[in-house]
Amino acid sequence: LAWILSQHQPIQAFLGGIATNFNSNCLPGPAEVSVVEADEFDRSFLHLHPSAAVITSTDADHLDIYGEADSVVDGFRAFAEQVKGPLFAGPGCADLTGAESYGRPGDRYTYRDVRLEGGVQAFTLVLDGTEIATHAGLPGLHNVENAVAAAALAHAVGMPAAAIAQAIASFRGVARRFDRRASAAGRHYIDDYAHHPTELTRFIEALRGMFPGEKVALLFQPHLYSRTRDFAAGFAEALAGADFVGILPIYAARERALAGVDSAMLAARIPGAQLVPYDRGAEWLASQPATVVATVGAGDIDRLVPHVERLILGES
């Protein structure tokens, strides 16, 4: 969204990741338009009263804060009531007062004819009756939906459809979001921030779509004891989509250990999954008989990325 709007007018922005086009997560301005990535983690998004907003998902997460899934939805509903203007909600979102859905057949803002062309996802963007061809540089249907979300809001605040489509096509992604780190000798290495079962599922689907028929090895670092406990079944189902799964010790972040909750508990739910010491993670991943390898997680797994890169490139 920040990139699209920046191609139309001056903006200032504060984002949750390093946008490749900006090489930063912050655009200081000054500008009349601000783009902010709101965070539901500790209900901090309830301090915001935006002029317009997009909610991409109301999936349960941060149950250490909210307690239960219904409370997560209540938080999003409270946020929705604070939006002063256009509000869009993604496929699968809970009912939100005043929100217009996007990304579904029949919606004013949606897409069709998604196809893989030259390593990118081409699709037809539908903006309130106007259809225009564009492409998303990041694979995965969720990234097409994200492009539509940003396009919907940009169009709603007055940006022309053609300019929106052109900006989508030139968007280069965000660090650690399907981040293609290395390719050599027929092998590909991707790093991703996914740390929730839904995100893992979408990431693995994107890998399968980009590299059909290839073997996939995944090194995953669970983030938080509470999240691992609360979503163990979902994590196991998502990770089972890879051919080879290695699980690092849980990254505790702000938490203390919980009795009976560890990576072994998660690995036991996944046929063939292996427990991998952190200091052996890079070697384990590079040694797997897979042509597609990935590091995934929101902890300090990113510190392994340079080592994995060197191993894949044969520079150990």
CATH code where residue 94 lies: 3.40.1190.10
Contacts with 249 (C-beta within 8 Å, 6 or more apart), sequence order: 221, 262, 263, 277, 278
What pTM value is reported for the model?
Answer: 0.94
pLDDT at position 262 is: 98
> Is residue 184 domain-shared with residue 164, that is, in the same domain?
no
Neighbours of 162 (CB within 10 A): 12
Averaged pLDDT, 33-46: 95
> Is residue 120 domain-shared with residue 221, that is, in the same domain?
no
> Is residue 162 domain-shared with residue 194, that is, in the same domain?
no
- Under 8 Å between Cβ of 102 and 149: yes
> Is residue 138 domain-shared with residue 34, that is, in the same domain?
yes
pLDDT at position 298 is: 97
Q: Is the pLDDT of residue 37 over 80?
A: yes
> Is residue 162 domain-shared with residue 188, that is, in the same domain?
no
Residue 211 is encoded by which pair of tokens? 């590299």
pLDDT bin (cut points 50, 70, 90) of residue 94 is very high
Q: Quote the CA–CA distance of 26 and 82 in Å, as a whole number.
A: 24
Q: Which domain holds residue 192?
A: 179-312
Averaged pLDDT, 182-193: 98
pLDDT at position 276 is: 99
Q: Tell me how many domains the chain contains.
A: 2
> Is residue 11 domain-shared with residue 91, that is, in the same domain?
yes
> Is residue 264 domain-shared with residue 158, that is, in the same domain?
no
Averaged pLDDT, 222-247: 98
Among 170, 201, 222, the domain-final residue is 170
Q: Is the pLDDT of residue 316 over 70?
A: no
Domain CATH for 268: 3.90.190.20
Residue 313 is encoded by which pair of tokens? 């490139």
pLDDT at position 13 is: 98
> Is residue 111 domain-shared with residue 49, that is, in the same domain?
yes
Q: Is the pLDDT of residue 39 over 70?
A: yes
Q: Quote the CA–CA distance of 280 and 219 in Å, as a whole number.
A: 11
Stated length of the chain: 316
> Is residue 268 domain-shared with residue 248, that is, in the same domain?
yes
Q: Considering only CA atoms, which of 55, 20, 14, 47 is closest in space to residue 33?
A: 14
Q: pLDDT tens digit string along 4-28? A: 999 999 999 999 999 999 999 999 9
pLDDT at position 261 is: 98
